[in-house]
Structure 1
């Protein structure tokens, strides 16, 4: 594993130098984990032209030493040394970039004062651009997370019955994922019944399941920090004509996008293929904005699949394809899968059946 992290750090150095940046200060939790393997959330990373320093404190020091690769782990005494003064020990000269998206104004004031001898410049998306294309180990982790989610869902569907609440079923799903091997949950599980399924990111509550309710389940598992993200929509009992039409349309929209997924196709093109199906069936005012997103250490990461992103897909990108329609006071339908882009097409990583009717 040490060689993997060394390669990632060297790729970042080369990218930074191409932009005139000699040193980088990193604050993003996922970015630090990607570059070192450290899974804690109280650390900072300095990448110079020759060395990498992971700075943490006594709470995480031993853990950082055990988990981290190809870096020097530094334990800062927070009571006696400011963050800025700590950084200044390792940053002597050169143009120094910092991740502006992850640092607060108050935190940066102390750092900037201590690094007044350097040329400081904000950066955005450097590590994220490297994270877009997954390596073999990353893909293996996402595949395992997706498989755990598939298994957990199959077990939890056995508990679907009249009168069960959203919260009860969501709790059972979270518990099942973790008992079979997930490191946690990829995000707060979305599990909604009836008209509440029209809330794209609603929170499970005390609503009880009744006949002909739509059931929307959006959830994921985690392995080695890598996440899966899957949505399935069901109806409890015989569907109405409207419910069936919604489901069939969303499924067709997903198929339209999947049919053209491969390296060399733009995110815009994928989004348009799905959007055209939804619009042709009258759902243009009820469709979710955007078709999907990149997936990895973060739930939502580059590339984003929408009508604004011209990014051309590469082999090794892992993205979601998740069209949806949401009708107020009636309900919503979303179908989401995780896919790995290949040169010839794609590999679907989530395999739960897309059957609609539950009885």
Structure 2
């Protein structure tokens, strides 16, 4: 049996659910392996079903090992099929299903009680298996190669948009199917914007340039950030950079199984606060990465989850000074039995281009 499905069934049983329906794309792929855009995973105590329409029956038959493939049509709808299966307590993705969809399920399902799955799948997906880690490593490797390449491209006169386009084209040529998110290229005073998506601003000599990007490889994401200086760094730029680097590397040494996301965040935040820049670090230290670029666990002041081996998370402190610029340094890492392993291999010393 698919180990992911087996773990999910165990969770359903612990929550007194005899079945569940799953159709959030990432959760659907996690359980079934299906990479198409339309379909429903239905897990029962006895069997696993994948319900889709005419367009995807053949694809699902090839990808969804261990699932019985059922086709819904205008004459035999999804609701008809669910009613035929004899379900009683049906778990659903309450954080994903719309009010309209929920009302349709309530109106058209006969004698089936809908029960929220809450964070059941989020918790399962936090722990990666070895195959998942290998896919993420490959995505991280492509991002590292893209950073090495783009350092040869960035120069005064090029726009942020052109830099982002070069990064994204490079990653796709290396096998990525897409970007994990809209690439952030923020230069000069725009680098004080933590999520400064690439604009048509021209990069100038003396600018900080923050590069935050990642790619998708076989469905799994990477995420990394490096900040460089075009030309020679000023003393103030060096000061800010070195504080962020110290916070980032100290947190890296602290991240291991048994600590909470809150405790990991506190390590980096304490260093930045001690240097007088606490008010300029306004986001969490990191987040989980997998089929989604932002998933559980959270490494932040609100991060309650305990870190465990085989979680993949980011370590990305930053300082952002309005009207001056900002620095963020981010590694993608996997928690190991005794600590953590960097998946982002790009250099972290201050690079002056």
TM, length-normalised to structure 2 = 0.96
Q: How does 1:116-195 map to 2 (within 5 A)?
A: 116-195=110-189
Cα RMSD of the aligned pairs, angstroms, is: 1.4
- Alpha-carbon distance, 1:174 to partner: 0.2
Q: Whole-Å Cα distance in 2 between the matches of residues 100 and 108 of structure 1?
A: 9
Deviations 1:188-223 (CA, angstroms, capped at 9, x unpaired): 111111111111112211101111101010011222
- Alpha-carbon distance, 1:98 to partner: 0.8
The 3-state SS of whatever aligns with 1:110 is helix
Q: Whole-Å Cα distance in 1 between the matches of residues 186 and 36 of structure 2?
A: 32
- Alpha-carbon distance, 1:310 to partner: 2.4
Runs (5+) with no aligned partner, structure 1? none
Q: Whole-Å Cα distance in 2 between the matches of residues 329 and 85 of structure 1?
A: 60
The 3-state SS of whatever aligns with 2:49 is strand
- Alpha-carbon distance, 1:247 to partner: 0.6
Aligned: 1:198 with 2:192: yes
For the Cα contact (< 8 Å) 1:84–1:112, is it kept in 2?
A: no
- Alpha-carbon distance, 1:229 to partner: 0.3
The match for 1:111 is 105
Aligned: 1:89 with 2:78: no
- Alpha-carbon distance, 1:281 to partner: 1.2
The match for 1:74 is 70
- Alpha-carbon distance, 1:29 to partner: 0.9
Aligned: 1:254 with 2:219: no
Query: How many correspondences in the alignment?
Result: 353
- Flag as ranges the 4+ runs of structure 1 deviating above 6 A: none
- Alpha-carbon distance, 1:10 to partner: 1.4
User: After alignment, is 326-335 or 137-146 more displaced?
Assistant: 326-335
- Alpha-carbon distance, 1:27 to partner: 2.1
Q: Whole-Å Cα distance in 1 between the matches of residues 18 and 104 of structure 2?
A: 21
- Alpha-carbon distance, 1:76 to partner: 1.7
Which of 38, 55, 64 is 1:42 aligned to? 38
Q: Whole-Å Cα distance in 2 between the matches of residues 244 and 81 of structure 1?
A: 66
The 3-state SS of whatever aligns with 2:20 is strand
User: After alignment, is 100-109 or 80-89 more displaced?
Assistant: 80-89
Q: Whole-Å Cα distance in 2 between the matches of residues 146 and 57 of structure 1?
A: 35
For the Cα contact (< 8 Å) 2:233–2:352, is it kept in 1?
A: no
- Alpha-carbon distance, 1:238 to partner: 1.2
Runs (5+) with no aligned partner, structure 2? none
The match for 1:7 is 3
Q: 1:193 to 1:87 in 2, by over 3 A?
A: same
Q: Whole-Å Cα distance in 2 between the matches of residues 99 and 159 of structure 1?
A: 44
The match for 2:291 is 297
Q: Whole-Å Cα distance in 1 between the matches of residues 183 and 65 of structure 2?
A: 32
The match for 2:335 is 341
For the Cα contact (< 8 Å) 2:88–2:111, is it kept in 1?
A: no
Which of 194, 210, 219 is 1:225 aligned to? 219
Aligned: 1:315 with 2:309: yes
The match for 2:58 is 62
Aligned: 1:101 with 2:63: no
The match for 1:212 is 206
Q: Whole-Å Cα distance in 1 between the matches of residues 96 and 336 of structure 2?
A: 32
The 3-state SS of whatever aligns with 2:9 is helix
The match for 1:27 is 23
- Alpha-carbon distance, 1:111 to partner: 1.4
User: After alignment, is 275-284 or 168-177 more displaced?
Assistant: 275-284
The 3-state SS of whatever aligns with 2:116 is strand
Q: Whole-Å Cα distance in 2 between the matches of residues 120 and 318 of structure 1?
A: 32
Deviations 1:12-54 (CA, angstroms, capped at 9, x unpaired): 1111111111111112111111111111222211111011111
For the Cα contact (< 8 Å) 2:83–2:110, is it kept in 1?
A: no
The 3-state SS of whatever aligns with 1:210 is coil
For the Cα contact (< 8 Å) 1:237–1:357, is it kept in 2?
A: no
The 3-state SS of whatever aligns with 1:204 is coil
- Alpha-carbon distance, 1:81 to partner: 4.3
For the Cα contact (< 8 Å) 1:263–1:345, is it kept in 2?
A: yes
The 3-state SS of whatever aligns with 1:159 is coil
- Alpha-carbon distance, 1:280 to partner: 0.8
- Alpha-carbon distance, 1:151 to partner: 0.8
- Alpha-carbon distance, 1:82 to partner: 4.0
